[in-house]
Amino acid sequence: MSTVTDILIDEATLKQRVQEMGAEITRDYAGQSLLLIGVLKGAVIFLSELAQQIKLPVAFDFMAVSSYGSSTESSGVVRILKDLDESIEGRHVLIVEDIIDTGLTLDYLYRHLQNRKPASIGICTLLDKPSRRLVEVPVKYIGFQIPDDFVVGYGLDFDERYRNLPYIGVLKP
């Protein structure tokens, strides 16, 4: 049985950084409306709290992709499990992700969405693990850079567990 051994980012620090990111996005997209594309399921909590901090007209859409299964290592094979409900052509789009690890999933998603001709497309992630990167992706907003630990909480899971923790914790077997 796996257990959370350390709190990597506490609840207050998370909320403060999400507020700062919302202010940055508001400034960068001033005068425009924005479509936030949440990557299910991990980004749901981050997206909902981030959206509250963005002082612009925002709409949501969601995609579900898989590259992990029930493992702690990305397989590198990306499958779209749920596509967008509406067109992004001509719209300002911000992909909202929970964590960037190898970059393979996000690179695939970014290129896939670029083909749909949005007015602009950016990437926002709560967590970034640069030490694991295999493919560089153009991330515009990063909440926190973290070490190569398997983390859970604030939407991130292991086998569908731990998503509801109000902090980011390190999971050890």
DSSP per-residue letters across 90-142: TSEEEEEEEEESSSHHHHHHHHHHHTT--SEEEEEEEEE-GGG-SS----SEE
Counting the structural domains of the chain, the total is 1
Percent of the chain whose predicted confidence (pLDDT) is above 90: 82
Given the residues 28, 98, 101, 148, select the one marked as catalytic. Answer: 101
The answer for residues whose C-beta is within 8 angstroms of residue 91's C-beta and 6 or more apart is 33, 35, 118, 119
pLDDT at 130 over 90: yes
* Region of poorest pLDDT, from 6-10, 75-79, 119-123, 154-158: 75-79
Could you tell me if residue 146 is inside a domain? Answer: yes
Give the pLDDT of residue 44: 95
Could you tell me if residue 86 is inside a domain? Answer: yes
Output the pTM of the full model: 0.91
Could you tell me if residue 167 is inside a domain? Answer: no
Give the pLDDT of residue 5: 85
Could you tell me if residue 63 is inside a domain? Answer: yes
Could you tell me if residue 158 is inside a domain? Answer: no
DSSP per-residue letters across 84-98: -SS--TTSEEEEEEE
Give the pLDDT of residue 60: 95
Give the pLDDT of residue 74: 53
pLDDT at 1 over 80: no
Could you tell me if residue 70 is inside a domain? Answer: yes
Could you tell me if residue 95 is inside a domain? Answer: yes
pLDDT at 35 over 90: yes
Percent of the chain whose predicted confidence (pLDDT) is above 70: 94
Q: What is the CATH number of the domain that holds 46?
A: 3.40.50.2020
pLDDT in tens, 47-88: 999 999 999 999 999 999 876 555 455 556 778 899 999 999
- Average pLDDT over the chain reads 92
Give the pLDDT of residue 56: 97
Give the pLDDT of residue 99: 94
User: Domain span at residue 54?
Assistant: 11-150
- Told to judge if 83 belongs to the known catalytic residues of this protein, a careful annotator would answer no
Give the pLDDT of residue 28: 98
Give the pLDDT of residue 105: 87
